Amino acid sequence: MSQPIIVWFRHDLRLHDHRALVRAIAEGAPIVPVYILDDETPGQWRAGAASRWWLHHSLAALATDLATAGSKLILRRGKAVEVLPALAHDCRARAVHTSRAYQPWASNLEEELNERLHHDDIAFRRFSGTLLFEPEVVKTKDGGPFKVYSPFWRAATATVDIPKPEPAPRTLPAPSRWPHSDTLASFELLPTRPDWAGGLRETWTPGEAGAAARLKTFLKSALAGYADDRNRPDLPATSQLSPHLAHGEVSPATLWHAAHAIADGKPALAKGLEVFCKELVWREFSYHLLSYWPTLPEKPFRPEFENFPWVTAPELLHAWQRGRTGYPIVDAGMRELWHTGYMHNRVRMIAASFLIKDLLIPWQTGEAWFWDTLVDADLASNAASWQWVAGSGADAAPYFRVFNPSLQGAKFDPAGAYVRKWVPELAHLPDDVLHRPWDAGDVVLRAAGVTLGKTYPKPIVDHGAARDRALAAFKALRGG
């Protein structure tokens, strides 16, 4: 039996369109699939609680899929730079294959692994596949990185050919001897006391099969109206594929080609296809930024925002986190997040704007909360999106663009279905005051069973005054 190849799974927990796996099989070697839970590499962002819940179930699904293919998933815990060479030595592996990672700490980790493995005559090979294309492929005419999304989109779609997905292998050749594996339970990824994951279990099916089912549903029922309806949290109009994409249960190339295949020759789907592809490329743009500006998750892209006069307000932050701000659309989003580990994208922008501009709480604080509570937490997308809302990032919304939560709610949740679902204490308010209950009047409030300050909070800030305060702070920051 020839020496095996270790396939190191990271943010690519699937068998379909897995280039590192496909290339290993093509070499005719036995395959040892491995996942390492590394909470120890310096400088990295440890996965948040919701992501760890998802990771547990995704690893379980991957292990089942590998078993069906005649293989098994080896689990190890510790620093990858130490665990992987030791495992390779134990297996007498001739190579380690993995998908390239793009977090700020990943490059140094991969370089050190390459050196350690090379010292033992073990090849270390990285493959693409977690992005549509590598971050350095798309460049400006001057050969530098893009800072604005629209020209990045145009350049990417004009120059990049997205490879078609590789099929999943039916069988994987097994080694003559399997190395020791930790148990998934020993990773302690699931909550225990209290078990807060009931809403996540109701909402999601982690794993490659769950991703395929989500994709099929989206393409069949929502792609046609995606361009017009994706901003409506009251409609099932988004793909909800982001957590599957974040954990690599489906490749972006699979999404790209599946959407193009179903829309081919169908004018009614053309607009939805274009907008969906732009969303996929926004993710690419986020990684493009992170690759060139690795401090993006911690520091403002625009240096002048280092001196912004943020405030510390623990009580206001807690009210925002728990969906008790007194602004129904914000509260609905924060409660959806707490229950499901997910929030509709339009509502994410509204909630983020409220934290940053109404409360003057730093965007990094909101970013950290989303990192811990989102099942689709993604370092590049999270950082780029929070900085976009804050006005401190590349291709940012101007700081003076301050979302009015009442107007946003009325526009994108016009019949109030979203708010009534997540803020049931307001369910009996009429549509015309649902998004601004403070204007309802005593008679209407009493009829709806609402007592502001008791059954539902009064607004924790006045939006008009808060907007003026934020604009004044921004004006002072600019020196005038």
Question: Per residue in 193-239, pLDDT tens?
Answer: 899 999 999 999 999 999 999 999 999 999 999 999 999 999 999 99
Q: Please identify every stretch of the chain with a pLDDT value under 50, giving residue numbers as ranges.
A: none
Alpha helices in 173-266 (DSSP H): 198-203, 208-221, 226-229, 242-246, 252-263
Strand order in the sheet with 74-77: 74-77, 31-37, 5-9, 95-99, 123-127
Residues 212 and 242 in one domain: yes
CATH of the domain at 90: 3.40.50.620
What is the span of the domain harbouring residue 460?
303-477
The domain spanning residue 254 has which CATH number?
Answer: 1.25.40.80
Whether 388 and 446 share a structural domain: yes
Strand ranges inside 10-58, DSSP E? 31-37
Residue of 24, 22, 175 whose CA lies nearest to 90: 175
pLDDT given for residue 454 in this prediction: 97
C-alpha to C-alpha distance for 40 and 349, rounded to whole angstroms: 32
**Whether residues 418 and 463 fall in one domain:** yes
The whole-angstrom separation of Cα 297 and Cα 104 is 10
Instruction: List CB contacts of 357: < 8 A, sequence separation 6 or more.
Output: 399, 402, 403, 466, 467, 470
pLDDT computed for residue 1 by the predictor: 57
Identify whether 194 is part of a domain.
Answer: no
Are 149 and 381 a contacting pair, CB within 8 Å?
no
Pairing of strands 31-37, 123-127: unpaired
Calpha distance 411→233 (Å, rounded): 11
Question: Closest by alpha carbon to 353, among 403, 309, 420?
Answer: 403
Same domain flag for 286 and 347? no
Residue 176 lies in a domain: no
- Choose one of 269, 292, 315: the last residue of a domain: 292
Final residue in a domain of this structure, among 292, 311, 335: 292
Query: Do residues 395 and 283 share a domain?
Result: no
Residue reference for tokens 């709806």? 448
In this predicted structure, what is the pLDDT of residue 480? 53
Which tokens go with 244? 């599957």
Q: How many CA atoms lie within 13 A of 349 on its CB side?
A: 19
Q: Do residue 245 and residue 310 come from a single domain? A: no
Q: Is residue 84 part of a domain?
A: yes
Is position 437 within any domain?
yes
The CATH number assigned to the domain holding 364 equals: 1.10.579.10
Length of the chain: 480
To 5 degrees, how large is the angle CA 112–CA 114–CA 120?
110
In a domain, 386, yes or no: yes
Asked if residue 177 belongs to a domain, the reply is: no
User: What percentage of the chain has pLDDT greater than the value 90?
Assistant: 94
* pTM of the shown model: 0.96
Same-domain check for residues 29 and 119: yes
Q: Which helix (H) or strand (E) holds 285?
A: helix 267-292
Judge if 466 and 371 occupy the same domain: yes
User: Which pLDDT score is estimated for 478?
Assistant: 75
Which residues, 6 or more positions from 103, have their beta carbon under 8 angstroms from its beta carbon?
Answer: 44, 45, 290, 379
In a domain, 148, yes or no: yes
Say if residue 21 is in the same domain as residue 94: yes
Pair (284, 145) in one structural domain = yes
Task: Provide the number of structural domains found in the chain.
Answer: 3
Examine the fold and report which residue of 114, 129, 144 is the final residue of a domain before the chain moves on: 129
- Cα–Cα distance list, 94 to 3, 26, 169, 447 (Å): 6, 14, 21, 74
- The alpha carbon of residue 480 and the mean position of all alpha carbons in its chain are separated, in whole angstroms, by 37
- Catalogue the active-site residues: 279, 282, 310, 345, 363, 386
- Which spans in 142-207 are helix H? 149-159, 198-203
Rounded Cα distance between 433 and 444, Å, is 9
- One domain for residues 406 and 467: yes
Q: What pLDDT digit, counting tens, does each position of 7-36 carry?
A: 999 999 999 999 999 999 999 999 999 999
**Residue 28 burial (CB < 10 Å; 0-12/13-18/19+)?**
exposed
Over residues 255-309, the pLDDT tens digits come to: 999 999 999 999 999 999 999 999 999 999 999 999 999 999 999 999 989 999 9
Q: How far from 133 is each of 161, 394, 395, 412, CA to CA, in Å?
A: 9, 20, 20, 33
Residue 342's contacts (CB-CB under 8 Å, 6 or more residues apart) are: 203, 240, 242, 243, 336, 374, 375, 376
- Are residues 350 and 397 located together in one domain of the fold? yes
In a domain, 340, yes or no: yes
